[in-house]
Structure formats: structure tokens, C-alpha cells
Structure 1
Amino acid sequence: MKSAHPKKQRIAQQRPTFMYLLDLVLIAWIIEAVDQFFLAGQLDRFGIHPRQAFGLLGIPIMPWLHGGFGHLSSNTVPFLTLGYIMLKSEGRRFYYSSAIIILLGGLGTWLIGGTGEVHIGASGLIYGYFGYVMTRAIIESKPLWLITGILVAVFYGSMIFGVLPQGQIPVSWEGHLTGMLAGIWLGRRHKGLSSE
């Protein structure tokens, strides 16, 4: 049996880098620019529609759609910072782990979201990263995780209030809550695992 080409093996074994996160952010900004300048925000209707069959299509699409540049800007920095911590801790599992958070958080949003609502934005994924990082920081017995958890709590601890209903403010607290729960579940599953 012939072995795979050495160059292809190296590519397959490469760990994702910070540039990967920047590429994802760039994609989100390009999509939002196209939506705002050419489609008058029409892409937003492809988000998650709770308990509608059509709304299930929004689960993998939700993180890439935003309600304007302000919404996207507010998600960019926490995505890069928490995403980088997640990337360093998960290594090549980062792709799989992010997909699991998107799937579980999106499905949870679809189940508990309000009727007639459309849920968009990367905040569900960001809350998933937050839940994952804080869970690992609490249950791991390693100083690095403890320090990381303290820093994340200092800079992003107020995110916890985002999982509560926001009254008339159009914020997807359901996406925040289910995304964070997905991250907590994943963090517990990956207790003790080193990055690959």
C-alpha cells in the first residue's frame, strides 16, 4: 500500500493558528459587507427560526450573519481572544469542537427561542468558547488553566448576564445560554486532554 504524499501528510497534521481565526473573521466581515451594501440585510432571514423546519438551516449559518457592522464589531474581539484560547487548548480538535458548539448551541436555540424570532450572530459560539474555557479552568488542576480562567473572568465575566432574558432588547439570550451550556459540556468532556 502506498503511503500518502509527505506534503499532504504535513498539511493534514498542521495545527490551526491565529491566522485561521483571522480568516474566519474576514469571512464574516465580507459576508456582512455584501449583505449591507448589496442585499439590504436580506441574508439575516437565513438565521435560526425556532421550531420551524426551515429554521434548522440557520444552525450552521447563524455565526456568519450579523445585524450590522456594530453587531459584528462587538463580536470580533471576544471571538479572537476566546477563540485563540480555545484553539491553543484544543489544537487540531478546534475545528471539531467549534462545530459541536455551533450544532448543540444552535439546536438549543432552535428549541427554546421565541416564536417568530430570527437568531443571528457569532455570540452563541463565543459563549460556547467562554463556557469551555471557564469549565476547564475550574476543573483542571493546572496553574496555567487557573491563571487563564482568572484573566477570562476579569475581562469577560460580565458575559454571564447575557444568558438572562433582556426584556425588550433584541439580544439572543437563548443563543448565549445554549452556546455556553454546549461549551460547558465540551469542557467537561475534554477534562485532562492536552492539545493535539
Structure 2
Amino acid sequence: MFKNLVSKNALVYPIFMLAAMWLGFLLQWLGFFESCFGAIIPLLPEGLLGIITAPLLHGNLDHIVSNSIPIAILMFLLYQFYPKVATKVFVLGWLATGFLVWILPPIDIFTGNYYYTCTVGASGVVYVLAFFLFFSGVFRWNMKLLTISLLVVLYYGSLIWGIFPEELFSEITEPSKISWQAHLAGAVVGSLLAFIYKKSGEKKKKFIWEFPNYYSEKDDKLWQEYKENHAEDFMELPYQKREDVWEHLEELRKNKS
């Protein structure tokens, strides 16, 4: 029963991603990725490698732990409920977000000064997944998928504040170490992918009787037979008698149940 409810890919791919992230972190700890090597360095050729490798690298233990949990949950939801487009969304979201971070110069919004920065971490991918899952349910207007959208808002709604520079909400004397550019890029990419793939995958089910001009000869026959056998239900009755009829019908309904 469990196999039929949960997709194999919804378990395998999140585990694979977590393994890759923690392997990258281990290699960092062993000194294989020193300084800014493997990070996204905006507008510099040596930072292009980071488009691929940056989501697998993290600044410290707290950084990777804080990204591991949402990556596991959101990837599970993506592959469980959007299996036909999940891999496309994940890969395109990863690369497009990294490229946007690379072309967005890190600038102090108050002084306008450019500062050198190295961006690592999977938070951009987290934003891609969260915004894709939310807007996909909204665009498709499917009750099951809308439930996923509400779950994302319930647990990760506070992510919205991450797309704004920290300087707007607190007094800091130096540029924040949190890349709001990566968050903003992920949010934009995830929303666009939700719109692009809104007609792919599971569609809203429409029952046959919901279509215009629906007609069933069998239903019509049953209705006509009921009208012939219960003509009193269609007569204009005094108010008191109508109440008696409804009470009688209610008693019949209770007895049947």
C-alpha cells in the first residue's frame, strides 16, 4: 500500500541531493574547496563554475543543516505531486538561479558601492522549489495541489522576507552574508517555471455531468419514473402539509441510513 501512495523518485532524489550536499561540505572541510573556489562570484569568469557547484557548498554546519531540511521536504513534494516536470523544474531552476545570481552585481543599496562576494549554499534552490510549489497549485486551481500550496505557505511563508536586502530591516554596518540576490532569483525562477508548466502533469478532473449539454437517458428515465410514482411531491400543498411531507421524507432518509 505504501508503495502505491509514495513515488520512488520522491524518496530517492531528495536523498541523493542531501548526500551530494553533505559530500560537498565534507570536501570543503577537508580543504578541497578553499577560499571562493566553487562559489558564484558575480560578473567574474572564475565564478561561473559556481552556477553548478555552489548549491552543494555551504559556509558552516548551521548553514547546511538549515538548507537540508527544506530541500528534503520540498523535493519530496515536487517529485510526489509533479513527477512529469519535477526533474525539468529542478535542473532548470538550479541553473537559471545560479546564472541570475552571477549576473546580479552585489551592490550596497544605500551607498551604491560594489563589493566582492562569494555565494554558496542551496537556499536559491529552496526558493525555486517553494515558489514553484505554491504558484503551481494556484495556477492549476486543483484542490489537491492547492493543499500543497497552503502547506508550503504554512511552513515556509516566512521565506518571502528573504528576497529583500537585510539592510532594509536592520541597521548593519557591513554587507550581509545572506545572499538576498540568490533568494530573489530563486523566487522569480520558481514562479516563472510554475507558469510555464501550469498545463503539464496532473490536471483538474472534470466529471461528465459537469460538461455543458450533458444528458443521460438513464437518469432522465429514472427522473420521469419518480415523478409518475410520486406526483404528490410536485403538487402545491398548504404550508402545514408541506411541513408534514418534509418530516416524512426526513424520517425515510434516517431509516435508510
Q: Which category of TM-score, normalised to the shorter sequence, fits these structures? A: 0.7 to 0.9
| Separation in structure 1 between the aligned mates of residue 84 and residue 200 of structure 2, nearest angstrom | 12
Contact 2:84-2:201 at 8 Å conserved across structures: no
| Separation in structure 2 between the aligned mates of residue 188 and residue 92 of structure 1, nearest angstrom | 15
**Distance apart, 1:51 and its partner CA:** 0.5
Cα deviation 1:101-126 (Å, max 9, x = unaligned): 11111111111141411111000011
Contact 2:127-2:190 at 8 Å conserved across structures: yes
| Separation in structure 2 between the aligned mates of residue 108 and residue 33 of structure 1, nearest angstrom | 27
Matching of residue 182 in structure 1 with residue 189 in structure 2: yes
Taking structure 1 as reference, are residues 63 and 107 closer, same or farther at Cα in structure 2, changes over 3 Å only?
same
Q: Which structure 2 residue ranges, 5 or more long, are not aligned?
A: 1-6, 107-114, 168-174, 203-257
Contact 1:35-1:43 at 8 Å conserved across structures: no
Q: Give the number of the structure whose residues are more often helix, by fraction.
A: 1
| Separation in structure 2 between the aligned mates of residue 156 and residue 60 of structure 1, nearest angstrom | 25
RMSD of the TM alignment (CA)? 1.9
- Whichever residue aligns with residue 141 of structure 1, its letter is W
Which moves more between the two structures, 155-164 or 55-64? 55-64
Q: Is the partner of 1:170 in helix, strand or coil?
A: coil
Q: If the length of structure 2 is used for normalisation, what is the TM-score? A: 0.66
Alignment of 1:1-196 (within 5 A): 16-36=9-29, 38-39=30-31, 42=34, 44-114=36-106, 115-167=115-167, 168-194=175-201
| Separation in structure 1 between the aligned mates of residue 133 and residue 10 of structure 2, nearest angstrom | 18
- Which structure 1 residue ranges, 4+ long, deviate > 2 Å from structure 2? 14-17, 92-96
| Separation in structure 1 between the aligned mates of residue 67 and residue 116 of structure 2, nearest angstrom | 24
Which moves more between the two structures, 93-102 or 180-189? 93-102
Percent of paired sites with the same residue: 24
| Separation in structure 2 between the aligned mates of residue 120 and residue 108 of structure 1, nearest angstrom | 14
Which moves more between the two structures, 135-144 or 92-101? 92-101
- Whichever residue aligns with residue 101 of structure 2, its letter is T
- Whichever residue aligns with residue 45 of structure 2, its letter is A
| Separation in structure 1 between the aligned mates of residue 159 and residue 77 of structure 2, nearest angstrom | 16
**Distance apart, 1:86 and its partner CA:** 1.2
Q: Which structure 1 residue ranges, 5 or more long, are not aligned?
A: 1-13
Report the count of equivalent residues: 181
- Whichever residue aligns with residue 160 of structure 1, its letter is I
Q: Is the partner of 1:91 in helix, strand or coil?
A: coil
Q: Is the partner of 2:155 in helix, strand or coil?
A: helix
Pair member with larger Rg = 2
**Distance apart, 1:131 and its partner CA:** 1.1
